[in-house]
A and B are shown apart, each in its own frame.
Chain A
Amino acid sequence: MRTLIYLLIGIIFGITMFKSEAASWFRIYEMFKFDSFHMYGIIGSALVIGILVVQAIKRLNITSFYGEKIHFYPKERGFSRYIIGGILFGLGWALAGACPGPMFTLVGAGFAPILVVIIAALLGTYVYGIIKDKLPH
């Protein structure tokens, strides 16, 4: 049952990424050129609603669908890792035109070369795991 819920959530996510064109390399380029409101509208409206939802759940002590307490995990404090990691991510996001969600959506949409991006992203994750103790965090 729970598996089915996750699968459905993923399907809605994948359809939305494709249909909103957030999975399009062109939309990412256009966003970084400030030539369209489209991507800002998507992220911005998701964020405004997201903030309201999270605040409501916290303040009203809403429990999960299973009646259990909902956990929110604050991000560790820090600066270097977020700014440096963020910049590296941004460079890759603009070049490949896909972030880790849409990457998978594009596999389903049938674009074979995206597999190169995914394999390289796995390698990047792996290399981070190997050298992380040597990096400023």
Chain B
Amino acid sequence: MNWIYEPWSWYVSGPIIAFIMFLLIMVDKTFGMSSNLRTICTICGAGNKTDFFKFDWKSQQWNLIVVIGAIIGGYLGSHLLSMDTAVAINPATITDLNTLGFESAGKAYLPTELFDTSALLSFKTIALLATGGFLVGFGARYAGGCTSGHAISGLSNLQLPSLIAVIGFFIGGLFMIHVLFPLIF
């Protein structure tokens, strides 16, 4: 059972994700995480402002429970099921990241330069995290789904719109990392 404590390979993780989608389909629900952001906006009262948030959020309660599970799962995965959480990325990637100023590459789960609690003292870090989050929230709703809703659920159902969205995800991601990162970091 020692493999459990090691990072899981793609051929274990990918099938589990497909299994999660299968379970949700079998209870007649859809695998899609970004809808929860809209639901939370509604719970916070956004429905008073615009119709987009006027819906019965209780119909989406099940998905919020999945989110609570995902939080618990993150705790279990990191605190109970891992010895060393440093991510062994490609040495070439580590060299790249060192050049950009990410000394923690290859030594941590997330870059300490952005995700260590002390990083919150830097205005630049907060601005970068907030910009990234804003784009994820805005973009996911604009595109009608995120990685789970389009790249997994949508493509599994052979939806052309999902293919267009996933191509968009990659255009944006490649542009950010290859063009913008050298300017930002």
With an 8 Å Cβ cutoff, the count of chain B residues facing the other chain is 127
Task: Decide yes or no: A23 and B135 within 8 Å by CB, A32-B176, A42-B14, A112-B117 being known contacts.
Answer: no
With an 8 Å Cβ cutoff, the count of chain A residues facing the other chain is 115
Q: Does B72 contact A (CB under 8 A)?
A: yes
Return the chain A residue nearest B5 by Cβ.
A19
Chain B interface mostly: helix
**C-alpha spacing A110/B158, complex, angstroms:** 36
B:127-157 near A, CB below 8 Å: 128-148, 150-157
Say yes or no: A91 contacts B175, CB within 8 Å.
yes
B:1-47 near A, CB below 8 Å: 4, 7-28, 30, 33-34, 36-38, 40-41, 44, 46
**C-alpha spacing A99/B164, complex, angstroms:** 18
Say yes or no: A82 contacts B90, CB within 8 Å.
no
**C-alpha spacing A72/B31, complex, angstroms:** 11
| Smallest beta-carbon distance B175→chain A, Å | 7
Q: List 23 A-B contacts (CB under 8 A).
A: A12-B69, A19-B8, A20-B10, A47-B14, A47-B18, A50-B156, A65-B26, A70-B25, A75-B162, A85-B141, A89-B169, A90-B175, A92-B139, A97-B111, A99-B33, A113-B126, A114-B115, A121-B37, A121-B133, A121-B134, A125-B41, A129-B38, A129-B50
Give residues in B with beta carbon < 8 Å to A. Answer: 4, 7-28, 30, 33-34, 36-38, 40-41, 44, 46, 49-50, 52-53, 62-63, 65-79, 81-82, 87, 89-90, 92-93, 96-97, 105-106, 108-111, 114-117, 119-120, 125-126, 128-148, 150-162, 164-178, 180
